[in-house]
Amino acid sequence: MRGFRTVSRYFRDALHGVFRNFSLSLASILCITITLLVVAVSLILSSNVEHFSDSIRKDVTVVVFLKNDTTSEEVEKIKSELISIENIERSSIEFKSKTDSAQELKEGNDIFSATVDTWTDDTNPLLDSYMFKVKDIEKIDDTVKQVKELSLAKDKINNINYGEDIVHQLIIVFNTVEKVCVAAVIALILVTSFLIANTIKLAIYSRKREIEIMRLVGASNMSIKIPFVLEGLFIGILGSIVPILVTVFGYGSLFDFFNGKLFGSSLAMLVEPMPFVYEISSILIVIGIVVGMIGSYFAVRKHLKI
């Protein structure tokens, strides 16, 4: 009971401390608010960039052309074998007959349309094909190799096409973009932590006398640190309120405004707000609290030497 009363008193004293030194606390709170806003924006941006690159990567399609003499049983057999390959996205497997392809060609281009009209089933130079997408694009080369090793591959697969050159470049570019984004966000979080810790250090410096007197009248170092660290906790929470509100409501309305995609392109889909904004919010409040508490801890500790 006494322990509980001590704990609740620590919390009450800490809240008291925040408001008693409100102008100082306000400086720290504002600093946290502003820097966390920047962190929130950068997190949202980099998440969306990652999302774009993910959706573009997911859009890479492998086309397996089948030889003309492939029977319909063999076509089915190939499908069942494709399904058994781990990295192939099952639902994306699609069969396109050469007639379908010719029709597509005809609709897509006027010049071709006349030519295509002259084709009969026998003279159609196109091939039946399977198309599929992969789960992990980094393994696309292995997956294609697996397809080439299927039991029917040697006799029935004409060739496989997946724009190797572009895909390889894509992988490199997106890997770099992602790394840059992650590095930028981490750097930003570090700078933010440094700024917040420094503001707290200044705020606590001007309460040096209070700390000195606490020590003078016999407060143990631990009992001096606890209220300041708890104040850091409250300041962290108060400082993350605005950035969290901005994230939750701001991103939500931005998403609605753009109808969920940039440039009207289905390749530039924005990240769905739920539960994304809550994930960002938790990151923000954790940064606020952790930096607030650790910053306060080290700032007080400096005044407790000798």
Partner 1 sequence: MELIRVSDVQKTYKTGTVALYDFNLSIKKGEFVFVIGASGSGKSTLIKMLYREEKPDKGSIIIGGINVAKLKNRKVYVLRRKLGVVFQDFKLLPKLTVYENVAFAMEVLGYDKRDIYKRVMEVLSLVGLKNKVRQFPDQLSGGEQQRVVIARAIVNKPKLLICDEPTGNLDPDTSMEIMKVLDEINAMGTTVIMATHDRDIVDKMKKRVILLDSGRLAKDIEKGSYCNERF
Buried b / exposed e along 162-197 (16+ C-beta atoms within 10 A): beeeebeebbeebeeeeeebeeebeebbeebbebbb
Q: Kindly state the number of chain residues that form the binding site for partner 1, as judged by CB under 8 A.
A: 22
Residue 305 beta carbon to partner 1: minimum distance, rounded to whole angstroms: 6
Pattern 202-241, partner 1, x by CB under 8 A: -------xx-xxxxxxxxxxxxx-----------------
Q: Confirm or reject binding of residue 1 to partner 1 (CB under 8 A).
A: no
Q: Confirm or reject binding of residue 290 to partner 1 (CB under 8 A).
A: no
Q: Confirm or reject binding of residue 26 to partner 1 (CB under 8 A).
A: no
What residues have CB less than 8 Å from 252, skipping those under 6 apart? 273, 277
Q: Confirm or reject binding of residue 301 to partner 1 (CB under 8 A).
A: no
Beta bridge mates, 183? none
CB-nearer residue toward partner 1: 20 or 90: 20
**Nearest partner of 64 among 142, 144, 170, judged by Cα:** 144
Instruction: Using DSSP, state whether 219 is helix, strand or coil.
Output: coil
Residue 297 beta carbon to partner 1: minimum distance, rounded to whole angstroms: 15
CB-nearer residue toward partner 1: 74 or 210: 210
How far is residue 242 from each of residues 32, 35, 234, 237, 292, measured CA to CA in Å?
Answer: 10, 11, 14, 10, 16
CB-nearer residue toward partner 1: 156 or 207: 207
Residue found by looking up tokens 């292995």 in the block? 142
**Nearest partner of 239 among 39, 25, 43, judged by Cα:** 25
Residue 210 beta carbon to partner 1: minimum distance, rounded to whole angstroms: 6
CB-nearer residue toward partner 1: 24 or 189: 24
Catalog residues that contact partner 1 under the rule CB under 8 A: 6, 13, 20-21, 209-210, 212-224, 304-306
